[in-house]
Amino acid sequence: MIYKIQTTKPQQFIEITDKVAEELKNSNVRDGIAVIFVPHTTAGVTINEYADPDVVRDIISVLDKTFPVHGEYRHLEGNSHAHIKASLMGSSCTVIIQDGKLCLGTWQGIYFCEFDGPRKRKFYVKIIAG
Ligand code: ZN
């Protein structure tokens, strides 16, 4: 299924674990994999801690220090930093499904990663039995 999302900040992580879990529930799949795919070049997806929101704030902060918005880049659109960050996070994540549940660790959440917002975005969730 395709999900539409409106990001509200230039750079932000939005937790989408609930959407993936809901998609899994609706699928009735007990064992398999969930694939989350982001079809953008300046946004990505990653899995990391959700319990302490400072973790994702720190990730954004360190990425921004390492790849500043106004760095020395050649890409004329002026958003090279966002392309680089998106590639580092990646455009897809896979989570194993066992007994009808996502096999995420206790503190893991799935995050849509915006690096060139705010924008209208989308991501795909595919539940595959196997
Ligand atoms: Zn660009």
- CA of 55 from ligand 1 middle (Å) equals 27
Centre of ligand 1 from the C-alpha of residue 19, in Å: 28
Ligand 1 geometric centre to CA of 80 (Å): 6
Q: Residue 35: what pLDDT?
A: 98
Where do the structural domains in the chain lie, given as residue ranges? 2-129
pLDDT at 3: 97
Mean pLDDT, each 10-residue run in order, the chain (130 residues): 97 98 97 98 98 96 96 94 98 98 98 98 97
What pLDDT is recorded for position 57?
A: 96
Fold of 2-129: Jelly Rolls (2.60.120)
What own/partner pairs with CB < 8 Å and gap ≥ 24 does 98-102 have?
98/31, 99/30, 99/31, 100/24, 100/25, 100/29, 100/30, 101/24, 102/17, 102/20, 102/21, 102/24, 102/34
78 CA to middle of ligand 1, Å?
6
Cα-to-centroid distance, 124 and ligand 1 (Å): 22
- What distance lies between CA 38 and its chain's CA centroid? 7
pLDDT of residue 127: 98
